Chain A
Amino acid sequence: MNILKTTLSNIKSNKQLFFASVGTITTALSILGLFLFVYINLNSVLSFWNDQVQLIVYLDDEISSDEKKQLEKLFSSSSEVDSFRFVSREQAWEKFQLMFSEKSSFLKGMGFNPLPASYNLKIKPLPERLKSIQSLAEKLSQEGGVESVEYGEEWINRFETFMILMRVFLLALGALLCLGAVLIIANTVKLSVLSRKNEIELMLLTGATPGFIKFPFFLEGIFHGILGALISLSLMKGVHLYLVSRFQGSIETFGRGMDFQFIPMSFVMVIMLTSLLMGWLGSYLSLQQFLGAYKKL
């Protein structure tokens, strides 16, 4: 209780500095959090699209029924294929018209159906999904009656590379911002320590244990970190809620079931814990420096 009282009085006597420091930490964590937010949502888009990956086998218009049967047999025997569906030229045309109903007069004016028939293959969620799709696609494109085989491979590959880069960027940015935050906390706590120099000396003289002296300052540093984290997480939640209310409708046109993800609970815990550690480390550094002078005497 006494420790808490001392901590609060430390903060009170350095109010402006405390809030400046908390504000800076909030800003740093918010920047990091927003990037994390973007990353998590892009990642969820990736996994959403990954789940949607289909292999589309476009057929020659002159495909024979034997060749069709041969293909279907191949699909059934492939371990990668979960299910397959035949889409005739007419069905494809109907769907196409439905999707672009605004342009229907133009489409009707075309007078012929340019679309080929196809097989849509749903691929099982295997661990090496992309690779197995790739090899299956190669095998199928050799088959008779197959015009071409399509899947979003390149696009997904590029997206994955981008995500790896983003991860590296996030880690580097995170490390840099954390370092900055630690230094800011260290400086603020240092000023707090210096403003209590006489009191600390008196404590040392009277026989206070090092823990008794250090604890309020540790707590002060931890307050900085936790408060900064809480404010920035609240800000991020606000941004999340805004995005959901404003853009949820439009995002659903990209894919059914997609939504804006908030930073998962485990990340929230990591952010809180990191802030706590940053606060502790900041205080530790400034106390080591301050008390170090008395150790040398």
Chain B
Amino acid sequence: MIQLYNVYKSYNNTPALVDISFIIKKGAFVFVTGPSGAGKSTLLKLLYRWESYDKGQVLVNGINVGKLNFSKLWQLRRHIGVVFQDYKLLPGKTILENVAFALEIVGAEKKTIRYKAWEALKNVGLSHRKDAYPMELSGGEQQRVAIARALVNNPKILLADEPTGNLDPDMASEILHLFEKANADGTTVVFATHSQNVLREGNHAVIALKRGKIADTRIVA
């Protein structure tokens, strides 16, 4: 599903990723870990082509990411759901509208949008709060909305950039379970975290980064 071959990336001559190669198979759940500045976020950004890379090759769902030009990027991104540490919810929309927005963007059939958005919220246990605005929710709840939004288009890959970074351990564990649920439904998950608790609890394959290099791997499925 995701293949990286000798990928290099630098910012103003400062290396951010050095000679990264790995393969993540379809349906896998992989943690990407490492201290701050190790290159976790950069690595994820390469996968959904928010950043370009200097050398090497990145294949995502059979698409050669480096060869995509700007006007075709949507073809890649529609296979990927992304969840961020800061949720990136639109404050002026209700949480149902926030989830529906992702459906509108991909041109989903109008009649189905409301129902699908509601169902996605139900899957994260928030359908009863569908008319609330993001600011009225706790951090954990906001992250659940972000997960619902990332999953509503049934992406093949779910990328998470420190999704539990702002949450307490109980909430983090709840969020992790949501990702595991999505993974059980067949979505390939790449979960970046520096939290040892999450890593221990998850017990999935791990890619550990240190100063932009792969320092360690643990059963990359």
Chain A residues engaging chain B, CB cutoff 8 angstroms: 2, 198-199, 201-210, 212, 291, 294-295, 297
Contact = CB atoms under 8 A, between A and B. Distances in A.
Contacts of B104: 2
A106 B51 CA distance: 96
B77 A207 contact: yes
Contacts of B73: 204, 207
Interface size bracket, B side: 20 to 34
Q: Name the 4 nearest CB pairs between A and B, nearest first.
A: A207-B78, A207-B77, A207-B74, A208-B105
Contact of A207 (B50, B51, B52, B106): B106
A interface majority secondary structure:
helix
A86 to B, nearest CB: 80
A291 B73 CA distance: 13
B102 interface: yes
26 contacts: A2-B104, A199-B90, A201-B88, A202-B88, A204-B77, A205-B48, A205-B50, A205-B77, A205-B82, A206-B77, A206-B101, A206-B105, A207-B73, A207-B75, A207-B77, A207-B78, A207-B105, A208-B106, A209-B71, A209-B74, A210-B74, A212-B107, A291-B70, A294-B70, A295-B70, A297-B50
Nearest to A6: B104
Contacts of A202: 88, 90, 101-102, 105
B143 interface: no
A202 B81 CA distance: 11
Nearest to A213: B105
B132 to A, nearest CB: 19
Interface of B: 48, 50-52, 70-71, 73-78, 80, 82, 88, 90, 101-102, 104-107, 153
Given A205-B50, A205-B77, 7 more contacts: A198-B90, A201-B88, A205-B82, A206-B77, A207-B105, A210-B71, A295-B70
Nearest to A210: B71
A210 B70 contact: yes
A28 to B, nearest CB: 33
A297 B102 CA distance: 22
Nearest to A211: B71
A206 B70 contact: no
B51 A297 contact: yes
Contacts of B52: 297
Contacts of B50: 205, 297
Given A2-B104, A297-B51, A297-B52, A206 B153 contact: yes
A205 B158 CA distance: 12
A203 B82 CA distance: 12
Given A205-B77, A206-B153, A207-B77, A212 B105 contact: yes
B104 to A, nearest CB: 6
Contacts of A203: 105
